[in-house]
Amino acid sequence: MASENENEISGAPAHPRPPRPSTITIGNHKLKPSTLMMGYGFDPELSEGSLKPPIFLTSTFVFESAAAGKRFFEGVTGRRPGGAEGLIYSRFNGPNQEILEDRLSVWEEADDALAFSSGMSAIATLLLTFVRPGDVIVHTGPLYAATETLIAKILGQFGVSWLDFPSGASREEIDAVVASAKAKGRVALIYLESPANPTNQLVDVEAVRAARDAAFGESERPPIAIDNTFLGPLWAKPLAHGADLSVYSLTKYAGGHSDLVAGGLVGKQKLIDQVRTMRNTIGTICDPNTAWMLLRSLETLELRMSKAGENAAQVCAFLREHPKVEKVGYLGFLEDGSRQADIYRRHCTGAGSTFSLYLKGGEKEAFAFLDALQIAHLAVSLGGTETLASAPAAMTHLSVPDDRKALLGITPNLVRISIGVEDADDLIADFANALQAV
């Protein structure tokens, strides 16, 4: 039917209404994240009834009027509180990334979330937001190698220093390091990684929070950020235990198919808004296609992680009893009554699917095992549908000095394994066969 105004296409208003709020409860029943991943934050009516969000490949967005454009800019630049009321430019945000951010927030019941082009760009943007020359960063050790490089070598060039405490540290040890850091300069950030890569040591987030709150007055408290890549968002939710921000390499379990690189940050509104301003400036947002792939991935996150976790429990039980195996560093095997077991009980709901296998012998035995695998792939990374195995001492941690490697237990006989969603018996057959080659 022809429109009264010949310049209008019937039924397609140029500037539709805002998206309808998604259903999050039915009566008193609160919907679970695995249900919300199917549709939360997306209103099909705004996209021709499309069940799935289209990929919005555009670099910029058309304003309804000059006044609307001004209002959006007032929001995005902070002149008006509450953030941008609409989309402006794709370095700032886009529909796919916004839906992704809404869904990322769901898992940890965070105020808000931000999507990034990689885990490292999320971490770099976070650090750049809070750290100034002369500041001190307190962090757990060890950290993912690139994070350590970023803090020590790159921020070090700008007069930033750091102090660390071991991942499994007690409240007293944390207090002592925080006190030394305070004596050194303004503490800008407390940065944690749990479990640590590759030692698998868990951080007591509640103790860190108590130490931070005891050492700093409310107005000077540094945010607590934590890398939750290994157990999040299913098996660990550190925001519930006192962290302010939880950062993710979405490349791993969230993406889950080893086919994308992305990062995420979830947490307190005020802090997320500060990081968003930095992200808008430097352009570390992920692209719409990657955001769309992540939406696809999040639909099966709980399924995939649960199956990988069950597989890992079976595989680890087999490996632990094998005569050629010295030790299996798996969170499901923490010693009853130990401090790590206590942290695990308070902070985690599952042992994950990434663990350390120490073979009897050295590099020769580790390589023989890796070269004989037929289902598991010899590759670095983790959290994908397929099982991966690698030798950290010879690969990811090759450049770490030998004495530090020894301190962290990164020995030549260590094989890191990330279990996928294959059949558990097939994986056990693969590992049994590879162990025969050792």
Residues engaged in binding ligand PLP (CB under 6 A): 118-120, 144, 193, 197, 227, 229, 249, 251, 261, 263
Which CB sits closer to ligand PLP, 42 or 418?
Answer: 418
Using alpha carbons, list the distances in angstroms from residue 284 to 67, 246, 279, 322, 402: 28, 17, 5, 46, 34
> Given the complex with ligand PLP, which of 125 and 197 has the nearer CB atom?
197
Two structure tokens written together for 197: 């890569």
CA distance 239 to 260: 26
Rounded to whole angstroms, how far apart are CA atoms 159 and 141?
20
Token pair in block for residue 263: 């990062």
CB 151 → ligand PLP: shortest distance, Å?
13
Beta-carbon contacts of 110 under 8 Å, excluding residues fewer than 6 positions away, are: 104, 239, 246, 266, 267, 268, 272
Residue 255 CB, shortest distance to ligand PLP, in Å, is: 9
Rank residues 175 and 193 by Cβ distance to ligand PLP and give the closer one: 193
3-state SS assignment for residue 169: coil
First to last CA, the chain: 75
Q: In what side-by-side order are the strands of the sheet with 136-141?
A: 112-116, 263-267, 245-249, 224-227, 187-193, 136-141, 161-166
Asked if residues 2 and 10 have their Cβ atoms less than 8 Å apart, the reply is yes
The residue of the chain with the least Cβ separation from ligand PLP equals 119
Amino acid at 375: I
Closest separation between CB of residue 187 and ligand PLP, Å? 22
Nearer to ligand PLP by Cβ, of 125 and 249: the residue is 249
Of 129 and 249, which CB lies nearer to ligand PLP in the complex structure?
249
Comparison of 271 and 294: residue with beta carbon closer to ligand PLP: 294
- By beta-carbon proximity to ligand PLP, the closer residue of 9 and 395 is 395
Cβ proximity to ligand PLP: between 72 and 144 the closer is: 144
Q: How far is the CB of 249 from ligand PLP (least distance, A)?
A: 3
Could you tell me the smallest distance in angstroms from the CB atom of residue 350 to ligand PLP? 17
CB of 246 to ligand PLP, least distance (A): 12
Burial grade of 345 (CB within 10 A; 0-12, 13-18, 19 or more): exposed
CB of 79 to ligand PLP, least distance (A): 33
**AA identity, residue 41:** G
Q: How far apart are CA 297 and CA 198, in angstroms?
A: 25
Q: How far is the CB of 54 from ligand PLP (least distance, A)?
A: 25
